[in-house]
Structure 1
Amino acid sequence: MPVLSSRVDTTSETYRNNRTGQLAAIAALDEQLELARAGGGAKYAQRHRDRGRLLARERIELLVDRDAPLLELSSLAAWGTEFPVGASIVTCIGVVSGVECVLIAHDPTVRGGAMNPYTLRKTLRALEIARRNRLPVINLVESGGADLPTQSDLFVNAGKIFHDLTDLSARGIATVALVFGNSTAGGAYVPGMCDYSVLVDRQAKVFLGGPPLVKMATGEDADDESLGGADMHARVSGVADYFAVDELDCIRIGRQIVADLDWHKLGPGPRGPVEEPLYDPDELLGIVSADFRVPFDPREVIARVVDGSRFSEYKPRYGTSLVTGWTSIHGYPVGILANERGVLFSEEAKKASEFILLANQSDTPLIFLQNTTGYMVGTQYEQGGIIKDGSKMINAVTNSLVPHITVNVAASFGAGNYGMSGRAYDPRLMFSWANAKLAVMGAQQLAGVLSIVGKASAEASGREFDAEADEQRRRAVEAQIERESHSFFVSARLYDDGVIDPRDTRSVLGMALSAAHSGPVEGRRGFGVFRM
């Protein structure tokens, strides 16, 4: 397979400016990730420890295999909202007893681990990832239930947690509940609906109604232990499959449960040699433009991500603003689609469609590196059939069955987001670089469109056009779209699975591919009608 050559000049002013912009974005990301890791803060973390309990991330660290990779998901959930960054829960893909699992851990230092609307979104996305990739689920439970003031945004959709847990079980995907503390009200159904449940003595409290509610509803005086303690559930109710004497014992039992699953991946393992790229991934910071409107060569990105910087390009002279080709990442064969100049013309759409069909014929996963401003507009292109050609590409993406993994490396605007396997097209996993933007179009373009529409409306109705008011609206719209297209804003709403440092792209893709191969990797042989 051909080896990519690099033409990056690390001494150029462009490279240095790009690097400065990327480092600033990464510094802002690191600051927010630190807030997420801090949970409820030092005061509440110490209070939790004083009760003899481990923190959520400490439980995860002890549960997963030593030195195994860990891929945290949705770390910026709830960023910019009234709720804490991270949404009071930790979700990740980690290796437990040699098996890749989805881990869902409540953080009791944040409002007792109570679930807010973003906690719900994050939990449901983690369960979806488990289902799509056939990964066992381990719930590390300690939650006071719903954040009651937000119940109107929670109650109806929260039932899907129980739906998804039982659906996973029906599919033969194991679910485990390790209960370290409160699991009350609706949360009591988590251990009830998991295949395996482990309760910690004198800590686990699993009941539909606590002592105050029971007293109010029935007049009965009851205590926590008789209502929902580990000993009672292990000896009397049968809700507990395993009785743990303490948290470490609970984690030990959890690891043993996973070991006893005798879990096997259904997809093929890595096929080729795993070689580091020939070029330093640190150089990615200077390659991708700080301004998304300035194009860059995606081959320079590919050369720093794939095995041995090897890349067999498909149709290199046709549809040149989209780069397509075959390679491998951590030994897993993949096809890559990467935007070069942002705009997708008819040639690029047809090229992408053919490439996706070929990937499905050979059962090869696809990596989408997004940097698109959308499909080309204008009389020439509309008459040339851009709608039907873009429809072919979106048809192919929609009906493709091989795993898709998407990374927004710069910009993802308009229907180009759909054609490049955006969130609505169910990629197995999707990530964004810290500098990335996502919106219906760029801020200046959107504000300009609204201004043109306003002028046309004034002329059509015979009104005088207020240029000063238009300029104020224009500035306000630009500011709004800049804010809402920011990678943190996008990730906060779970439109991706996390914002990453560009230098971690190869590792993230390797972990994502390994997880996707837990299930079958098979392409579609029959597609829908392509408008010719």
Structure 2
Amino acid sequence: MTVLTTDVDPRGAEFGERREAMLAKLAELDAEHAKAVAGGGPKYVDRHRARGKLLARERVELLIDPDTPFLELSTLAAFGSEYPVGAGMVTGIGRISGTECLITANDPTVRGGASNPWTLKKALRCHQIALENRLPLVSLVESGGADLPSQKEIFIPGGAIFRDLTRLSAAGIPTVAVVFGNSTAGGAYVPGMSDHVVMIDERSKVFLGGPPLVKMATGEESDDESLGGARMHARVSGLADHFAADEVDAIHRARRIVARLEWRKQGPGPAAGLVEPPKYDEEELLGIVPGDLRQPFDPREVIARIVDGSEFDEVKPLYGPSLVTGWARIHGYPVGILANAQGVLFSQEAQKAAQFIQWANQRDIPLLFLHNTTGYMVGKEYEQGGIIKHGAMMINAVSNSKVPHLSLLVGASYGAGHYGMCGRAYDPRFLFAWPSAKSAVMGPQQLAGVLSIVARASAQARGQAYDEEADAGLRAMVEQQIEAESLPMFLSGRLYDDGVIDPRDTRTVLGLSLSAIHSAPVEGARGYGIFRM
């Protein structure tokens, strides 16, 4: 393979400016992550601890193997909404007894672990990841069910939670529920539909209706323990498969359940032998992307700092140079990489991408898309040259590709270029963003300018004078709105990605993702639909 060279000067003024801008964005990101970690705040954390209970992240930490990473997902869920950042749930991928699992944990310090609309979206995304990547699902349950004031947004779509649990089981993917406290109403079906259930003496409470509801519905007097306690479910109903003395014992039993699954990956493992790290410092990733995304940067500088040995075999380097394509390995796993170089995708770039994607499918090699695109080129010359059909060719190739896709937004990701580079709507296995990323139908200035041109033409058609002052105000307002709505934290809050990550963690995040992907078979498409030539 070819070892990439670098033109990055870590001592240069331009590098320093870019690094400082990225660090400022990371500080904002850290502040929002801290809100998710804080849960319901000191009052409710202290109340939870006073009951002798572990926090959600403490439960996860005890569950996963010591000194192994936990790839947390959707940490910023609900950012920018009326609900707490994190959506009252911790989710991610961790290794349990040597087996990679998808883990979800209700945070009972946030409204008693009740599910709001973003909790639901976050849980459903986890189920999709578990099913696509063949990951056992372990649910750490402590929830009072739906957040009743927002039931109108939860009840109808919420049934998919239970549907997914049964589909995972039917697909042979194990599901484990560990009940730490209440699991009531609809929440009772989480253990009810899981393959393996652990309950804790005098802690777990699982019932469709608690004592007050039973009293109202039937007139029957009952107590929590006889109605849905762990002893009752272990001895009478049979819902509990394992009866634990306390939280630590319950977590130990969950680890033993996973160990006894004898789970085996179905995808190929990483290349044998020692994995060579990149030849360039990951710290330098902070100074590569400019603060102004209209300024180009060389994506090879990013590739050189995330792939094994900084080795990259580029394909068609002289054809469609605004898109870099080639082969590499990350933590021993082979990948095909498509990376935007100068932002705009022309016909040559689209055709080059379609061919490269077909190669990857022939070879059963996952694809990594590094986004920095303003979209497909517009204008009379390019329309006459077939940019629509060539863009459609690229989107066709992405849409019908069967190998796993990873997407990473490092810069701009605008317009149909976002689609062609495998944006969220094209179901990449994982999609992450750097704090420098932006995504929208087009850039704020362009969008505001288009609206201004349309309004000006409309006034002219009616024979009216155009209000320039109002136009300036409108453009400023639109630019501000689109800028805010294109930022990565806003998009991550709506689960359009799986997390905003520190650029220095990119290689680790991609390596963990690739390892999870290879729990399932890795097979490419063997046929495509009609390509417009």
Aligned to 2:50: 50
Query: Please, what TM-score do these two structures have when normalized by structure 1?
Result: 0.99
CA deviation string 1:48-96 (max 9, x = no partner): 1110111100000000001112100000001111111100000000000
Aligned to 2:233: 233
Pairwise mapping of residues 150-165 of structure 1 onto structure 2 (< 5 A)? Answer: 150-165=150-165
Q: Output the amino acid matched with 1:17.
A: E
Aligned to 2:315: 314
**3-state SS of paired residue (2:72):** strand
- The answer to whether structure 1 residue 473 and structure 2 residue 468 are counterparts is no
RMSD: 0.7
Aligned to 1:521: 522
Q: Output the amino acid matched with 1:121.
A: K
Pairwise mapping of residues 176-195 of structure 1 onto structure 2 (< 5 A)? Answer: 176-195=176-195
CA distance in 1 between partners of 2:291 and 2:304 (Å) = 19
Q: Output the amino acid matched with 1:494.
A: L
CA deviation string 1:92-129 (max 9, x = no partner): 00000111000000000010001000000000001101
**3-state SS of paired residue (1:20):** helix
CA deviation string 1:301-324 (max 9, x = no partner): 000000000000010000000000
Aligned to 1:73: 73
Q: Output the amino acid matched with 1:471.
A: A
Residue 465 of structure 1 and its aligned partner are, at CA, apart by 0.9
CA distance in 2 between partners of 1:412 and 1:227 (Å) = 53
**3-state SS of paired residue (1:415):** helix
- The answer to whether structure 1 residue 392 and structure 2 residue 397 are counterparts is no
CA distance in 1 between partners of 2:263 and 2:292 (Å) = 46
CA distance in 1 between partners of 2:271 and 2:115 (Å) = 42
Aligned to 1:13: 13
Aligned to 1:113: 113
Aligned to 1:345: 346
Q: Output the amino acid matched with 1:432.
A: A
**Residue pair 2:279, 2:309 contacting (<8 A) in 1 also:** yes
- The answer to whether structure 1 residue 64 and structure 2 residue 41 are counterparts is no
**3-state SS of paired residue (1:103):** strand
CA distance in 2 between partners of 1:292 and 1:195 (Å) = 48
Residue 13 of structure 1 and its aligned partner are, at CA, apart by 2.1
**3-state SS of paired residue (2:365):** coil
Aligned to 1:139: 139
Q: Output the amino acid matched with 2:326.
A: G
CA distance in 1 between partners of 2:83 and 2:7 (Å) = 45
Identity of aligned residues (%): 66
Q: Output the amino acid matched with 2:256.
A: Q
CA distance in 2 between partners of 1:515 and 1:292 (Å) = 32
Aligned to 2:378: 377
- The answer to whether structure 1 residue 458 and structure 2 residue 453 are counterparts is no
Aligned to 1:26: 26
Q: Output the amino acid matched with 2:501.
A: I
CA deviation string 1:153-203 (max 9, x = no partner): 000000000000100000000000000000000000000000001111101
**3-state SS of paired residue (2:176):** strand
CA deviation string 1:278-311 (max 9, x = no partner): 0001111111111111110000000000000000
Which consecutive unaligned segments of at least 5 residues does structure 1 have?
none
- The answer to whether structure 1 residue 282 and structure 2 residue 286 are counterparts is no
Pairwise mapping of residues 436-515 of structure 1 onto structure 2 (< 5 A)? Answer: 436-515=437-516
Residue 12 of structure 1 and its aligned partner are, at CA, apart by 2.2
Residue 474 of structure 1 and its aligned partner are, at CA, apart by 0.6
Aligned to 1:414: 415
**3-state SS of paired residue (1:499):** coil
Which consecutive unaligned segments of at least 5 residues does structure 2 have?
none
Q: Output the amino acid matched with 1:212.
A: P
**3-state SS of paired residue (1:522):** coil
Residue 43 of structure 1 and its aligned partner are, at CA, apart by 1.7
Aligned to 2:253: 253
Residue 331 of structure 1 and its aligned partner are, at CA, apart by 0.2
Residue 31 of structure 1 and its aligned partner are, at CA, apart by 0.9
**3-state SS of paired residue (2:31):** helix
CA distance in 2 between partners of 1:238 and 1:460 (Å) = 75
Residue 4 of structure 1 and its aligned partner are, at CA, apart by 0.2
**Residue pair 2:289, 2:436 contacting (<8 A) in 1 also:** no
CA distance in 2 between partners of 1:85 and 1:435 (Å) = 20
CA distance in 2 between partners of 1:460 and 1:397 (Å) = 42
Residue 376 of structure 1 and its aligned partner are, at CA, apart by 0.3
Q: Output the amino acid matched with 2:154.
A: L
CA deviation string 1:317-372 (max 9, x = no partner): 00000000000000000000000111000000000000000000000000000001
Residue 11 of structure 1 and its aligned partner are, at CA, apart by 2.4
CA deviation string 1:377-430 (max 9, x = no partner): 000000000000000000000010111000000111000000000000000000
CA distance in 2 between partners of 1:30 and 1:342 (Å) = 29
CA deviation string 1:223-265 (max 9, x = no partner): 0001100000011111111111111111011001100001000
CA distance in 1 between partners of 2:105 and 2:316 (Å) = 46
CA distance in 2 between partners of 1:246 and 1:11 (Å) = 55
Q: Output the amino acid matched with 1:307.
A: D
CA distance in 2 between partners of 1:411 and 1:72 (Å) = 24
Q: Output the amino acid matched with 1:391.
A: A
**Residue pair 2:267, 2:520 contacting (<8 A) in 1 also:** yes
CA distance in 2 between partners of 1:25 and 1:123 (Å) = 27
- Structure 1 range deviating more: 228-237 or 4-13: 4-13
Aligned to 1:301: 302
Q: Output the amino acid matched with 1:524.
A: A
Residue 20 of structure 1 and its aligned partner are, at CA, apart by 1.0
CA distance in 1 between partners of 2:323 and 2:461 (Å) = 40
CA distance in 1 between partners of 2:197 and 2:372 (Å) = 45
Aligned to 2:242: 242
CA deviation string 1:10-31 (max 9, x = no partner): 2222211111110000011111
Q: Structure 1 runs of 4+ off > 6 angstroms?
A: none
CA distance in 1 between partners of 2:224 and 2:446 (Å) = 60
Q: Output the amino acid matched with 1:196.
A: H
CA distance in 1 between partners of 2:394 and 2:257 (Å) = 44
**3-state SS of paired residue (1:220):** coil
Pairwise mapping of residues 260-271 of structure 1 onto structure 2 (< 5 A)? Answer: 260-271=260-271
Aligned to 2:168: 168
Aligned to 2:40: 40
